[in-house]
Structure 1
Amino acid sequence: MATRTRQSQRRTEALSRERIVEAAVELLDAAGAGGLTVRALTERLTTGPGAIYWHVGNRGELLDAATDAVVAAALATESAEAPDTPQDEIRAVALGLFDAITEHPWLATQLAMQLSRSPLGSVTPRIFESIGQQVRALGVPERNWFTATSALVHYILGAAGQNAANARVLGPDVDRAEFLAAASRAWEELDPEDYPFTRAVADQVREHDDREQFLAGIDFVLTGITTLHPPTGPQ
């Protein structure tokens, strides 16, 4: 009995929280949120449920931890590049999150839930701090920090989430260039009296790059922020 207890303790010690979260991210990437179960996790880690619960209280905590780990990695990678200006830093943070959401299709939904249901958790402050420090560095008046930062965060997560959703709908077997070409042709064939604008931008649909369009949106928001709230001096 004592031998079994010592063996169980050694397995628990060897199986770190970090490894559990890493395995959870792998399962989420492979099968989405529905595929993350304790049974699937124990099979992947070759362990028992007790070892899992020793480190993580429940499935919700595990989802939160996986979300936090992916976001932290995305933000750390971009911050290490040391951009020259606050605008560059915001673009880098935005692209880090954009790429993370693209790589991990489950992430957009979890981020939306974190922002709305768990603002006291670690993910929401982490994202707001990364963007908010740069909004402050832009010289935006303090009374407008929250509004300006919120506008950027909502655009980043909304646009990145929509892009990831589009990729999921198309699936891996659909050629993106062919799909956009077909959409462009369909827009060109619309009634010119009812859809003059849509017909006019049909070529841009065919040629656009998702990441470039995403960054252009960031620049629109930044231009609006700095125009409406010019610097008031050192912050």
Structure 2
Amino acid sequence: MATRTGRSQRRTDALSRERIVEAAVELLDTSGESGLTFRALTERLATGPGAIYWHVANKTELLDAATDAVVAAALAVRPSESPGSPQDEVRAVALGLFEATEEHPWLAAQLATQLSRNPSGTVAPRIFESLGRQVRALGVPEGHWFTATSALMHYVLGAAGQNAANTGSARALGPGTGRAEFLDAVSTAWEGLDPGDYPFTRAVAGQVRDHDDREQFLAGIDLVLTGITALSPPREASPAEKPSRRGGAGRYPPPDE
């Protein structure tokens, strides 16, 4: 009896929570949320359900942990070892999340669910902190930190989620149908709208067909950053930078000279 208990304990210790979450992410990527069951998980990990329940109480906790793990990995990506400007850091965070939603088709829906169901969990604060630190570094007054960071976060998750939804819609059209065919169908539909009711939408319909998703996403980030930096108070020039009323090289003479 002591031998069986010892073996069971060693098996539980070997099956870490991290390995369970990793297997859950793999199942979500291949089978979606409906395919993530404890039965499928026990088969993938070649273990019994008791060993999994030792680390994870239920499917909701497992989905939360899988989402947090993917988000943490996405936010850890940086364009280079040396830190860049706050704007560069924001773009890195945004692009990491954008690419994560592309790589993991289930992620966008889980992010939306967690942000509304469990905003005090780890996912929302993790993203908010990553963006908020850069908003603060931009010199935005403290009274605008929450609003500016919220606007940035909403754009990043909304645009990344919409892009993931578009990718999913393209897949749903059937084999051989990709992003190009999906966008062409949207563009064609917009071109056929009533010109009296939708003059602007018809005018940009061709851009829908030809645009690059990543470039458009980053352009939107730049637009939001432009608005956020407008909240920063103008920097006062140092005495050396201020024009002098005296004449001389690089100085302005007084008006009456």
Q: TM range, normalised to the smaller chain?
A: over 0.9
Report the Cα offset of residue 90 of structure 1. Answer: 0.5
Higher mean displacement: 19-28 or 50-59? 50-59
1:160-193 deviation digits (Å, cap 9, x = unpaired): 1111111111107313223323332333333333
1:210-233 deviation digits (Å, cap 9, x = unpaired): 111111111111111122x12477
Flag the 1:81–1:181 CA change in 2: closer, same or farther, 3 A.
farther
Q: Please say if 1:178 is aligned against 2:204.
A: no
Report the Cα offset of residue 102 of structure 1. Answer: 1.1
**Using the alignment, how far apart are the partners of 2:148 and 2:82 within structure 1?**
22
Flag the 1:199–1:81 CA change in 2: closer, same or farther, 3 A.
farther
One-letter amino acid of the counterpart of residue 104, structure 1: H
Higher mean displacement: 155-164 or 194-203? 194-203
1:93-122 deviation digits (Å, cap 9, x = unpaired): 000000001111111111112212212211
3-state SS of 1:57 partner: coil
- The aligned counterpart of 2:104 is 104
Which runs of structure 2 are paired with 1:49-198 in the superposition (5 Å)?
49-78=49-78, 81-171=81-171, 173=175, 174-198=177-201
Higher mean displacement: 198-207 or 135-144? 198-207
What stretches of structure 2 of length at least 5 have no aligned partner?
236-257
3-state SS of 1:55 partner: coil
Report the Cα offset of residue 81 of structure 1. Answer: 4.5
Higher mean displacement: 37-46 or 114-123? 114-123
Higher mean displacement: 12-21 or 185-194? 185-194
**Using the alignment, how far apart are the partners of 2:188 and 2:36 within structure 1?**
41
- The aligned counterpart of 1:214 is 217
Higher helix proportion (structure 1 or 2): 1
Of structures 1 and 2, the larger Rg is shown by 2
**Using the alignment, how far apart are the partners of 1:81 and 1:119 within structure 2?**
31
Report the Cα offset of residue 21 of structure 1. Answer: 0.5
Report the Cα offset of residue 145 of structure 1. Answer: 0.3
Residues matched between the structures, number: 232
**Using the alignment, how far apart are the partners of 1:185 and 1:120 within structure 2?**
43
Higher mean displacement: 46-55 or 79-88? 79-88
Quick one: higher RCO (CA 8 Å, sep 6+), 1 or 2?
Answer: 1
For the Cα contact (< 8 Å) 1:141–1:232, is it kept in 2? no
With normalisation by structure 2, the TM-score equals 0.85
**Using the alignment, how far apart are the partners of 2:199 and 2:113 within structure 1?**
38
With normalisation by structure 1, the TM-score equals 0.93
- The aligned counterpart of 1:11 is 11
- The aligned counterpart of 2:205 is 202
For the Cα contact (< 8 Å) 2:77–2:92, is it kept in 1? no
**Using the alignment, how far apart are the partners of 1:112 and 1:82 within structure 2?**
32
Report the Cα offset of residue 80 of structure 1. Answer: 5.8
For the Cα contact (< 8 Å) 1:139–1:232, is it kept in 2? no
For the Cα contact (< 8 Å) 1:140–1:232, is it kept in 2? no
**Using the alignment, how far apart are the partners of 1:198 and 1:77 within structure 2?**
36
